[in-house]
Structure 1
Amino acid sequence: MSDQNEPAKGTASQVAGAVQAHEYSWRAPSPPHIHVPPVPEKTAVVLPASNPTIDEADIDDEETVKVLRHITGGKFEVHVSDWTYEYRRKFQPILPFLYLGPFTSAKDVAALTKEGITMLLVIRDTRSAMCGFLSGKKIADTLGIHHAAIDVDGNAQLISYGFPKATRIINGHLVMKYKVLPQSQAMSDEHPPIIPQTCGKVLVFCESGNERSAAVVAAYLMAMYEVNVITAIQYLQTQRFCIAFDDGLKNLLLNYQQILEARRGVLGAQRTNSQTVSQLPTVLSKAVTKRRIDDVDKEDYDMSGMDDPDDVARFENRGSFAPFHNE
């Protein structure tokens, strides 16, 4: 029989020298909370002009860069709209060419056809991919549109793999669809640019459309429009109010924001250095011929020819001597 005065097992009193504490105090500290203030009703969230410098760093074709800037260019703004519970089952436009929604909306053939969606991009767990879940391939094949998938083992893999790959997939599809447009809808010099209705439109979705896929779209806004994580989330919430980011996803996006800022700084420094080198005077590019050692000796140290009479008289009657001679 156990002693009644014996402390209960599993409590903090069993730890030698420990002070009685709450059981949750023994776990690792939680990440700091990131507060995203709500957008007032009469206030618009405006995205600045696009600056896809990070994505352009991997593109060698100048025409492709110009097309990408034309498609994503312009200043987009959204206002807080009325929201009903039924909207969470549908997809919403985030940008004229980018949509966000749940898996159920990716199966709505009528809505996809009406909106002119040209690509389905699913963000899913690797285990779901192995089981064949959350795939929009059948719907895409039925409609004759494109399909792509980004499979991750967890949210942590989004920052190193999911976010940059999604940006490349979206931009690559938009440029590809734009290049096959008729000449009548080709690029113009209008500001802001008018994006043709037949240009590509990408629907990004996951199971709920509120977490991973929403984080991918937020990361796209951060990469293409240089907005911070707070502005990106606020912009999404005005269009799809039901998105739900926990502190883990918010801190993940905050870390991605810092990575983007660091890469922009590196690219800016490289671009500045290349411009500085190209502006150097051409005279510096000419090779300076180095004098040979025999030329230097001949010009500066040739003492054999003593034409000065004073030098001859000074050394005329001197005998030979050996320095440091010990008798």
Structure 2
Amino acid sequence: MTTTTMQSELPPRHGARPTAPYSARPPSPPAVIIPAPMLPTASEFIKVVPTYENIDPASLSVEDLEIITQNHKQQLASDSSYNWTYESRRGAQPILDFLYLGPSSIARNREWLLDNGITMMLAARDSRHAGVHLMANEKLVQELGIQAEYVDVANYNELVHAFPSAIRKINDHMLNVFREQRLTDTKLPVGNGKMAIPTGEIRRGKVLVFCETGNNRSAGLVVAYLMSVFGMPMIDACQFLHCKRFSVGLDEDLRFLLKSYEDILIAQRTVHHYELSRTSALEDANINQVKKSKRGFKDTLDDEEMGGTGEASAQDYERFSDRSTFVPFVDPQQ
């Protein structure tokens, strides 16, 4: 006799009978739906412009964001399904003007690495393969001067914990490439004035993020980067990525983790913005306190600590009563 039959034959309680078998497992989380972007034609674009209001101020400063994005340069994405072929998945696509996404095979393509000026490769790989070099061999990496980084995870749960580290590696590399070109004798200040690079001579870093297929773990890293650095909502970041690389497959588990990471980013951003505003308010209050004018002689008469009561106070007042008004500085034009 099956469980369903047994439950259906149970006597009704309070006049009610279960219509389906009970389940003891936890309820499933709600599905995260990624709708297709509404792009009527191939000439339509999704425009993304980073704004510092959507960035966690504890992770990036305004100057760092301007360096990485080249002064808030907008990013465009059109629907790649119009010209996508099966062979396209074997290559890498520029998700941003400095960030590429592709499979591990493209990381061994010497010609492609040179043509696109890749300066760093970030591999999102299974931790079981941590001892295997999935990227180009050591000679190729050293010869081309490419920085090699790895993110080793066993599952998606470990991947979401690796997001901050991976994002920091990309940002640090972009900033280091820029700062290595610092010029001291120039009249073109950038940021705080300690560095300056003529616009036409800037050599930007180029980062390739990849996994075995370029469609799973590495795609999750790129979505997390778009949310963290460009302040994009999770749905918009996934749509933007899918327009750039049509073969990307973000399964339900990965989408759920990306949604959880978005909630973490929102919470961190809210807390740090509050802390900055509170610190700024306290600093303003301290400045206003310092700016308060000094007390005059009459203000001290009521101050007991300064001897502002009794006969001594009256005698002190007589000492100042015959003095003429003294102004230390005057404006000669008045």
Task: State the TM-score, normalized to the length of structure 2.
Answer: 0.71
- Match of residue 274 from structure 1: 279
Find the aligned partners of 2:4 and 2:218 in 1 and give their Cα distance: 41
Matched, 1:31 2:36: no
SS of the residue corresponding to residue 35 of structure 1 reads coil
Structure 2: give runs of 5+ residues left out of the alignment: 11-16, 192-197, 293-302, 311-334
CA-to-aligned-CA distance 1:152-183 (integer Å, 9 cap, x gap) = 23211222x31111110000000111112264
CA-to-aligned-CA distance 1:196-229 (integer Å, 9 cap, x gap) = 6631100000111111110110010001111111
SS of the residue corresponding to residue 208 of structure 1 reads coil
- Report the number of matched residues: 277
Tell me how large the CA RMSD over aligned residues is. Answer: 3.5
- Match of residue 66 from structure 1: 63
Greater gyration radius = 1
CA-to-aligned-CA distance 1:245-291 (integer Å, 9 cap, x gap) = 111111111111111111111111111111111111657469xxxx9
Alignment of 1:216-255 (within 5 A): 216-255=221-260
Find the aligned partners of 2:158 and 2:182 in 1 and give their Cα distance: 40
Alignment of 1:119-268 (within 5 A): 119-129=120-130, 131-132=131-132, 134-136=134-136, 138=138, 139-159=140-160, 161-181=161-181, 183=183, 198-268=203-273
Residue 102 of structure 1 deviates from its aligned partner by 0.8
Q: What is the identity, as a one-letter code, of the residue corresponding to 1:35?
A: I
Find the aligned partners of 2:147 and 2:259 in 1 and give their Cα distance: 31
Residue 128 of structure 1 deviates from its aligned partner by 1.5
Find the aligned partners of 2:227 and 2:133 in 1 and give their Cα distance: 29
- Match of residue 90 from structure 1: 91
Q: What is the identity, as a one-letter code, of the residue corresponding to 1:179?
A: R
Cα 1:116–1:208 shift into 2, 3 Å: same
Cα 1:78–1:148 shift into 2, 3 Å: same
SS of the residue corresponding to residue 101 of structure 2 reads strand
Partners of 1:136 and 1:147 within 8 A in 2: no
Partners of 1:98 and 1:203 within 8 A in 2: yes
Residue 136 of structure 1 deviates from its aligned partner by 4.3
Find the aligned partners of 2:157 and 2:163 in 1 and give their Cα distance: 11
Residue 53 of structure 1 deviates from its aligned partner by 7.4
Partners of 1:100 and 1:213 within 8 A in 2: yes
Partners of 1:119 and 1:200 within 8 A in 2: yes
Identity, in percent, stands at: 34
Task: State the TM-score, normalized to the length of structure 1.
Answer: 0.72
CA-to-aligned-CA distance 1:115-166 (integer Å, 9 cap, x gap) = 000001001121121x42534463423422100011123211222x311111
Partners of 2:108 and 2:135 within 8 A in 1: no
Find the aligned partners of 1:70 and 1:226 in 2 and give their Cα distance: 16
- Match of residue 297 from structure 2: none
Q: What is the identity, as a one-letter code, of the residue corresponding to 1:118?
A: T
Find the aligned partners of 1:147 and 1:123 in 2 and give their Cα distance: 11
Partners of 2:94 and 2:244 within 8 A in 1: yes
Matched, 1:77 2:76: yes
Find the aligned partners of 2:136 and 2:18 in 1 and give their Cα distance: 55
Find the aligned partners of 2:134 and 2:149 in 1 and give their Cα distance: 12
Find the aligned partners of 1:52 and 1:158 in 2 and give their Cα distance: 26
Residue 89 of structure 1 deviates from its aligned partner by 0.7
Q: Which moved more, 1:41-50 or 1:80-89?
A: 41-50
Cα 1:177–1:56 shift into 2, 3 Å: farther
Cα 1:22–1:195 shift into 2, 3 Å: farther
- Match of residue 322 from structure 2: none
Q: What is the identity, as a one-letter code, of the residue corresponding to 1:167?
A: I
Find the aligned partners of 2:239 and 2:105 in 1 and give their Cα distance: 24
Q: What is the identity, as a one-letter code, of the residue corresponding to 1:218?
A: V
